[in-house]
Amino acid sequence: MTKFLSKLRRNEEGATAIEYGLIAALVAIGLITALGALGGSLQTIFGEASTTLDGNVDATDTGASGSGSGTGS
């Protein structure tokens, strides 16, 4: 049993995998935090762009290519 524990203590193969897992977890937490903080701003930006595009489509729509509702469905 002592020999097994000694060998286990010197084995570093699992340590590398754990380190990569921790790095991936930290990156994921950072991305979630950043996107959460920017979520409102991004929603505003894309909402304004959508409104502008809908207005341009409605202004140039001749009725030949669809209903012109601008909803995408």
> Does residue 73 sit in helix, strand or coil?
coil
Q: Which residue has the higher pLDDT, 1 or 20?
A: 20
Single-letter residue type at 10? R
DSSP string, 10-70: H--HHHHHHHHHHHHHHHHHHHHHHHHHHHHHHHHHHHHHHHHHHHHHHHH--SSSS---S
pTM of the model: 0.44
Task: Output 59 or 50, whichever has higher pLDDT.
Answer: 50
6-58 per-position pLDDT tens digit: 776 776 767 788 889 999 999 999 999 998 888 888 888 989 999 999 887 76
CB atoms within 10 A of CB 70: 15
